[in-house]
């Protein structure tokens, strides 16, 4: 085992008295070392040099301020035994955004190599973290002032801690809570809404490393919670980064939500498919009475009138930071259909004619009862949707017929925002040539 005492500052300054993460290896595991948990404090008085707060003496000699909120960050399973690459960035962005105590938890030794061993060690980590928090509360901090941010396996550890504090901690944020060993676990063995006054989870890899079921008061599912845009490029990075790209997207999106101000709004809905088909497009016609947002918001921006539980909300994102997009409802009203199903490609354009979004649709045949298609699409927040091209896709098996559209309407979500009227294109005829038109008022 090798322990370093250098915390690399964002501005390049280095102090030999600063704490940093342990490193681990398979040799450490074979030697059955203890967890070697350490708690490292960063504040605006020491933003670049972490202070240990492992015991009473450490706390007394630190900059911990009981009158400030406390953010406690817990990483998850570490296959390679290395320091999380995102840890410094998250801590620094939290300090820039708020005057808070940031405590970074290092349990690299107990979380490395064998996953099932890390799962077993997580209960002991939860106990150690709860002892620290109780100690800080005894010194004047309030239970409500604590916000635990748990990543993957660390999200369930945060749940253990919250349970040991009788669910009275202020908030827990689970960033793609781990799925393996937890998908079928009882509420006492995983993150659950009862673990804090408010529990939120952001799901980005629910079909592999993350859990699919809701585990909070509000559960955000990014792009359905599974495949993330920009993560299907295995040759653009290492195989390891490719494999965990979906899983870590929740982390980088959350960091981006702290740094940037563009809203990441989730729409309550039963399924992602129902959301994509335009079934959940308003923010005031469900029990929440508003749409929750990702970021440093109290209760995700919801009012305190009614406490939700395991509410699924869906949103789309872009492939790069700041990840936020606008959501648009596309409605196509058909005037005449052909004898066969046909496919079209819609490309939405900005004022400078750059692509904002694409939509591939199958147009029903004249025997179908469908005369309207509805789809929700994302588009970049920094562009305006001004025009569209529609191309009829070829099929070597069937003759192409003209497609007659009475009206194509696009509306920015949520629909109940009357300050953003919809835009329309009327009387569209699509044949072998690509159709192009500018959007105009629907009046």
Burial of residue 314 (CB within 10 Å: 0-12, 13-18, 19+) is buried
Catalytic, out of 20, 48, 106, 176: 176
**Among candidate residues 167, 164, 145, 176, the one with its CA nearest the CA of residue 71:** 145
> Helix or strand or coil: residue 330?
strand
Return d(Cα 146, Cα 77) in angstroms, integer: 23
Torsion from C-alpha of 287, 291, 294, 299, nearest 10 degrees: -40
**Among candidate residues 73, 80, 77, 14, the one with its CA nearest the CA of residue 38:** 73
Residue 152 annotated to the active site? yes
Please state, as a whole number, how many other Cβ atoms lie within 10 Å of the Cβ of residue 392: 20
* Nearby residues of 273 by Cβ (< 8 Å), 6 or more positions away: none
Residue 176 annotated to the active site? yes
**Among candidate residues 5, 26, 98, 433, the one with its CA nearest the CA of residue 295:** 98
**Among candidate residues 210, 314, 301, the one with its CA nearest the CA of residue 268:** 314
Q: Are 224 and 241 in contact (CB under 8 A)?
A: no
Residue 327 annotated to the active site? no
Catalytic, out of 24, 141, 152, 257: 152
Catalytic, out of 247, 256, 327, 411: 247
Strand partners, 327: 378
Q: Are 408 and 381 in contact (CB under 8 A)?
A: no
Return d(Cα 19, Cα 82) in angstroms, integer: 15
Q: Are 240 and 283 in contact (CB under 8 A)?
A: no
Return d(Cα 376, Cα 211) in angstroms, integer: 25
Q: Which residues are catalytic?
A: 152, 176, 247
């Amino acid at each position: 085992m090798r322990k370093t005492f250098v915390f690399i500052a964002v501005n390049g300054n280095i102090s030999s008295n600063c704490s940093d993460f342990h490193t681990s290896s398979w040799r450490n595991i074979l030697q059955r070392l203890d967890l070697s948990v350490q708690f490292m404090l960063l504040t605006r008085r020491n933003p670049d040099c972490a202070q240990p707060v492992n015991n009473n003496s450490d706390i007394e000699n630190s900059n911990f301020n009981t009158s400030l909120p406390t953010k406690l960050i817990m990483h998850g399973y570490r296959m390679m035994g290395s320091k999380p690459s995102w840890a410094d960035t998250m801590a620094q962005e939290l300090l820039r955004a708020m005057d808070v105590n940031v405590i970074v938890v290092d349990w690299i030794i107990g979380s490395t190599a064998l996953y099932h061993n890390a799962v077993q060690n997580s209960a002991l980590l939860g106990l150690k973290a709860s002892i620290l928090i109780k100690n800080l509360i005894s010194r004047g901090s309030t239970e409500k002032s604590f916000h635990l941010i748990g990543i993957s396996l660390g999200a369930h550890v945060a749940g253990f801690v919250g349970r040991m504090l009788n669910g009275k901690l202020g908030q827990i944020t689970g960033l793609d809570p781990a799925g393996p060993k937890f998908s079928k676990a009882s509420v006492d063995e995983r993150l659950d809404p009862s673990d804090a006054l408010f529990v939120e989870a952001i799901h980005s890899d629910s079909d592999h490393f993350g859990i699919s079921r809701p585990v909070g008061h509000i559960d955000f599912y990014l792009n359905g919670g599974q495949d993330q845009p920009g993560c299907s490029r295995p040759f653009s990075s290492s195989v390891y980064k490719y494999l965990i790209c979906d899983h870590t997207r929740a982390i980088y999106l959350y960091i981006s939500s702290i740094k940037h101000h563009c809203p990441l709004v989730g729409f309550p809905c039963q399924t992602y498919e129902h959301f994509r088909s335009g079934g959940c497009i308003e923010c005031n016609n469900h029990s929440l009475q508003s749409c929750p947002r990702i970021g440093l918001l109290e209760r995700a921006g919801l009012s305190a009138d009614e406490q939700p539980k395991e509410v699924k909300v869906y949103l789309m994102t872009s492939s790069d930071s700041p990840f936020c997009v606008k959501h648009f409802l596309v409605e196509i009203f058909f005037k005449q259909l052909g004898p066969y199903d046909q496919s079209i490609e819609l490309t939405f354009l900005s004022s400078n004619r750059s692509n904002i979004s694409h939509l591939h649709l199958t147009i029903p045949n004249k025997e179908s009862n469908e005369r309207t298609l509805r789809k929700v699409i994302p588009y970049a927040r920094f562009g305006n949707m001004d025009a569209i091209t529609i191309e009829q896709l070829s099929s070597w098996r069937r003759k192409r017929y003209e497609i007659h559209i009475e009206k194509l309407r696009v509306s920015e979500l949520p629909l109940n925002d009357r300050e953003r009227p919809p835009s329309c294109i009327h009387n569209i005829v699509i044949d072998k040539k690509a159709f192009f038109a500018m959007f105009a008022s629907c009046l």
